[in-house]
Amino acid sequence: MKIFGTVYPFVETGDASLRLGRHVANYEFLRALLRHGTFDEYHLFCLSVGHLRITRDRILKEDIPDSQKSKVRLFLIHHLIDNLKCNRYHVFHLGGWGYFFPGLVYLRNKHACRRFPITALIHSLNGAETAYHGLKLCTAPLLPFDTVVCSSRAGRSVLEASFRRMCGAMAETGARIAFRGRTEIIPLGVENDFARGVERNNCRERLGLPGKARIILSVGRLSPGTKADPYPPLLSFRMLVNQNPDKELLFIIAGGGSGSEQVLVQAMVREMRLEGMVKILPNFDVSIKRSLYGAADIVLALSDNLQETFGISVIEGMAAGLPVVASDLNGYKELFEHGCEGFKVPTIWLDRLALGELADVMNFETMQLVLAQCMAVDAEAATRFMHTLLNDPSSADRMGHAGRELAKQRYLWSSVIRRYERLWDELAMEAERFTESAPIRQNVLANDYLGNFEHYPTEILTDHHRCSLTPQGQAAMSAESLPSPYADIAPLVEIPRIRKLLRLLNERERTIREIIEEIGSLSGKEDVVRYGLLWAAKYSLIRINA
């Protein structure tokens, strides 16, 4: 049986809007995997009961064949070790490379009944946490087939530079660390629906847009600090309007944005006297996204931020058959060929940074804005390219057709998932052939809660402590009414075992060791029994005596 596993299964908690790039990419990956994957089972380990419910509800409502949905098995993270011990996993793949990768490597090396590869995807690499995550990965006991998947060459270069810098800095202190895994490049994708033709007038009618206007579309967060400054694209559009007075032009700016970010964009529109020619769709419903692309003539994507490693809106535009005008920056520059599927707008940056030495003591959002505001995007070139596309319909059609064909070949989720499965099969075979013993070493950067905090309480539970029933425990036993444990710790409390515990203590006082020997069979784990005992003491059902 071929089993796929993941921790934190690509569904973010607390944000159902799916507008942030990472949220979109991760959720679309999960949906595509369930639509196009060939695994016999998909084991998704959720971080909490609430997270499990969100994941379950999202999967149930998706347009995924029932035969595929039936292969999904949801677990709380509490059950991970037991599953590693009894299931022969083919691969574990994570929706992010930093947070869970090192811990999962340790658990696999120690508990898994079968050695399998662990892979994880990068997203933004500009955050202050990138170096920390790099250090965690370089000190973790990775095996040669553990892999970080990058969506672009640009992203992989950043990641590998971070590893080199981290390992070099540690070598100066005498510590020898290295990234022992590998890196691969597989792009993100768009769903196959995007590459199916749509009737433009129907899309415009659905969205209430003018039928004869030439529409420029920009999709992305309305944030100068974390996505792109809206001023250069608005300025480019203003110049385009000036150059084409005989054309009815409309610029649609669609994306997530806070109230203050929306006010900022509206102020820029007024400043450039573009009222009536710019339509802002903040926090739009994702159900209209395909119609937005279907209604547009050109996609404009002038990213100026280090936050980007790929560019989903660019491939969405190409898949929809639209010519693209995009920044020649980061992963954007790898997505298409200049003059073939669209145009690349030149960018220029600096070789030394004002305030650069203060980066470590600055607010991260402020530093991001400092970095982005010195990334110059050639607004005049963007205007020139859009002018060409508007006034040379045959070139625009040719580029749009070429973009759709490129998207079909390279960026549809069905083909992206096939590339992932080929990689996973290759890595799984390598794992089978690997004969060296796997090092069992915990992440040294993880908090050692018991070791670091053992001096906090008055005393630590031992086998020699004695337990007795309290009046509250007597009443709860008689009424068969126990406090309800919080959902996320319920698997550790096991109410049937607590009831048995109360009945035992109703007979006589017992030591911790005696209790474990008498009721431990319900769980088979001493640590779970001890946890339940302290929970019962916390709620005054039992008394623990020295």
pLDDT at 17: 47
359 has a pLDDT exceeding 90: no
Cα atoms in the Cβ-side hemisphere of radius 13 Å centred on 116: 25
Tell me if 245 sits within 8 A of 8, measured CB to CB: no
CA distance 122 to 414: 20
pLDDT tens digits, one per residue of 212-256: 999 999 999 888 888 899 999 999 999 999 999 999 999 999 998
Q: Where in the chain is the domain with CATH 3.40.50.2000?
A: 3-189+417-433, 192-410
CA distance 259 to 241: 27
65 has a pLDDT exceeding 60: yes
102 has a pLDDT exceeding 90: yes
Identify the band that residue 25 occupies on the pLDDT scale cut at 50, 70 and 90: confident
Name the average pLDDT for the chain.
92
pLDDT tens digits, one per residue of 141-194: 999 999 999 999 999 999 999 999 989 988 999 888 999 999 999 999 998 888
Mean pLDDT of 185-204: 89
Q: Cα dihedral sign for 155, 156, 161, 167?
A: positive
Pick the CATH number of 192-410 from 3.40.47.10, 3.40.50.2000, 3.30.830.10, 1.20.1730.10: 3.40.50.2000
Identify the band that residue 19 occupies on the pLDDT scale cut at 50, 70 and 90: low
CA distance 27 to 35: 12
274 has a pLDDT exceeding 80: yes
pLDDT at 444: 79
- Fold annotation for 3-189+417-433: Rossmann fold (3.40.50)
- pLDDT more than 90, % of the chain: 74
pLDDT at 20: 56
522 has a pLDDT exceeding 60: no
